[in-house]
Amino acid sequence: MRSLLRALLIISLLPATLSFAQSNKPRVEKEPAWVTIHTPDYNDTKLDQEAEGGYVDLILDKQVSVGTQSTYYKRAYRIISESGVQNASEVSVGFDPSYSQLTFHSINIIRGSEKINKLQLSKIKTIQQESELNRYLYNGALSSVIFLEDVRKGDIVEYSYTVKGSNPVFKGKYTDMLTTSFGVPMYYLYYRIILPKGRDITIKNSLTDIKYTKSETAKETTYDWKQEKIPALHLQDRIPGWYDPYAMVMVSEYKDWKEVNDWALQLFPFSNKLSPALQKKIDEITKADTSIEKRILAALRFVQDDVRYLGIEMGDRSHKPHHPDKVFTQRFGDCKDKSYLLCTMLQALGVEAKPVLISSTYRKTINDWLPAPTVFDHTTVCVRYEGRTYWFDPTISYQRGKLKDISYPDYQYGLIIEDSTRALTAIAPQNNKGLIDIKEEFSIPDMFGTARLVVRTTYSGAFADDIRDDFSSSSLFEMRKTFQTFYTGYFEKINIDSLTYTDDDQTGKFTTWEYYTIKDFWEKEGSQKKCWFSPFVISGVLKKPKDANRTMPFYITHPARYHEEVIVNLPEDWNFSDMMEEMKCPAFTMRAHAAYAGRKLKLKYEFESLKDHVLPTEATAFFKEYKTFEENVSYMLSKGDGEEVIKETPKKKEKEGVNTGFIIIAVLLISGGILWWTQRR
């Protein structure tokens, strides 16, 4: 039902666009005269063993005529198994009908010495797929698809086409990233850029030493890159999102970040003229409170909570925001729309506010890239108030607390759109010292049956933002089920009895209380009864990569700051020596403390990540401290018949205190069967 309603919404919003798209079908023509035709030898099979999906890429040929705004592509791949017939028997090409025209030149199946023509315009279907629907983004892009008939193992599928036209938002300036390594093998790679005389580009290699050849005529300058037999680049596990191990050649007509800033300034013009409705909202905020800080917060909360996230990004709207009056009236917009509206409202309130272009994926990496508008994928807001700089992300909902409590993701670098900007700005983490404070108290009345668990968790900073959003977008039933699923990874017969929460609007803290019943609490193993205790939440945060011999950095959950206290009320008394452990490496710090008195065992843990990655040179130190974490922070209580002491394994460091047959032994609880804390969220 929701999908149907969403589809109806899009149709109602885009009648003109859909009508235009229906008349914009691909054409069939010969290759343009400016294209150089490459015909490599397709008989080489040395890289086939690295192929995935049942086919192997033979050629990727991309040629750009900057002057005519045309890009030619040629691709060929060999079907090497039956799965390749299933996976690669269609040709699909995407384009934006609002500014580009697709022209096919050839679609062939090469079978031995025979070349079979499969290019039939009547069989090409043009559809609107909207691949980013799950992110509430609609760009109007089309895909022209042809389903190839009679494809067989051993066939070579070869096709070529040209897309003419470029997004008008860039005003004809050219930028590109030419990838020279891939996750699959590539036999032949060709790139060509044809540039009109009088236009200059900057070229920069990243992780490659590939060289270009340059040729000139009276009217044009041409750059060519060629590469053969490129092996697949296999990624190691848990690499950070910002880390890009793929080699590439960057190309840009922008000389510096000032040029990019000057381009962006035209997208965000500010004036004092507001619609009556928007002005009325500004007046309401002004009259509600004399405090400038509270006015800033009121404007932020309005844009975050009352303007829903939805992007209509056809054509130049991929980068150009809608007018703030329109966004205010329709009550929806994407990141640039919401940021533009927030800046407009704050400026009307007398507060200095500017849009900030961000790469939410590559973050600090863009500081080493060539200047280009295309490196950014997100827009946020920079506010200067009383000598301090604040950063806001209007796409985050339900942020609470004072200005000092508002968290901002660790985007690391951004381009502040204002007249004085000459370079990217390093963004220090803002209020990322949020905390998850967990207290888990077990009440175990006897050695036979049911135990009780009460969990109180207090979230602050970004952690509070996340959990508040979860409760706002999910039913209480769904949240109860999610919380119970987390602990089911530890206790098979656990059942949640109730879940309550409070939300402090002034401090921004969010607190939950969970109440559980655990049946058959003691696990039976022969004549022994056992139970385990650990930093349940922290154990789900700290993970060891599978690839131990690192050549690439690996990801650490960051920011991650946790205090976890496990209290165990036991049915019998025993002796126990207190324990204190401290672990520290470039990635994290952790303290673990255990104390016992009056049938009450208290395990206290403090964990904090120091950064979001571990470099290969830091891996040894990480694995050393991780091993300490494995061996020392979790405990097993075990009791056998009579007064015997049961030792689980000689490999584990033992902490013993014996009375009524109990022993506490450090054990490893981190395993594939335990759910991550992120699944709980």
Kindly list the domain boundaries of the chain, sorted by start residue.
Answer: 2-253, 263-426, 436-680
- The CATH number of 2-253, from 3.40.50.2300, 2.60.40.3140, 3.30.360.10, 3.40.50.10470, is 2.60.40.3140
Higher per-residue confidence, 180 vs 134: 180
Instruction: Calculate mean pLDDT across residues 642-663.
Output: 35
Q: Residue 670 — pLDDT band, cuts 50, 70, 90?
A: very low
Cα dihedral 290, 294, 299, 300, rounded to 10, equals: 170
- Asked if residue 272 has pLDDT above 70, the reply is yes
Model pLDDT for residues 134-165, shown as the tens digit of each residue: 665 676 788 999 999 999 999 999 999 999 99
What is the structure's pLDDT at 598?
A: 87
What is the structure's pLDDT at 641?
A: 61
Computed on alpha carbons and rounded to an integer, the radius of gyration of the chain in Å comes to 30
DSSP class per residue in 78-132: EE-SHHHHHHSSEEEEEE-TTT-EEEEEEEEEEETTEEEE---GGG-EEE---TT
Least confident segment among 249-253, 572-576, 623-627, 674-678: 674-678
What is the structure's pLDDT at 574?
A: 66
How far is 136 from 132, CA to CA, in rounded Å?
Answer: 7
Cβ atoms of 501 and 511 within 8 Å: the answer is: yes
- Asked if residue 118 has pLDDT above 80, the reply is yes
Model pLDDT for residues 192-201, shown as the tens digit of each residue: 999 999 999 9
- Asked if residue 187 has pLDDT above 90, the reply is yes
Q: Residue 447 — pLDDT band, cuts 50, 70, 90?
A: confident
Q: Residue 8 — pLDDT band, cuts 50, 70, 90?
A: very low
At position 30, the amino acid (one-letter code) is K
What is the structure's pLDDT at 130?
A: 60
How far is 593 from 580, CA to CA, in rounded Å?
Answer: 5
Instruction: Give the single-character DSSP code of 438.
Output: E
Class in CATH terms, 263-426: alpha beta
Distances (CA, A) of 372 to 181, 196, 221: 21, 20, 21
Nearest to 174 by CA among 201, 213, 139: 201
Distances (CA, A) of 393 to 244, 376, 623: 24, 15, 35
Nearest to 560 by CA among 540, 578, 544: 540
* Percent of residues, the chain, with pLDDT higher than 90: 74
How far is 612 from 601, CA to CA, in rounded Å?
Answer: 33
**Sign of the Cα pseudo-torsion (272, 276, 278, 280, in order):** positive
* Percent of residues, the chain, with pLDDT higher than 70: 89
- Asked if residue 2 has pLDDT above 70, the reply is no
- Asked if residue 669 has pLDDT above 50, the reply is no
Instruction: Report the chain's mean pLDDT, rounded to a whole number.
Output: 88
Model pLDDT for residues 450-495, shown as the tens digit of each residue: 999 999 999 998 899 999 999 998 999 999 999 999 999 899 999 9
How far is 64 from 70, CA to CA, in rounded Å?
Answer: 6
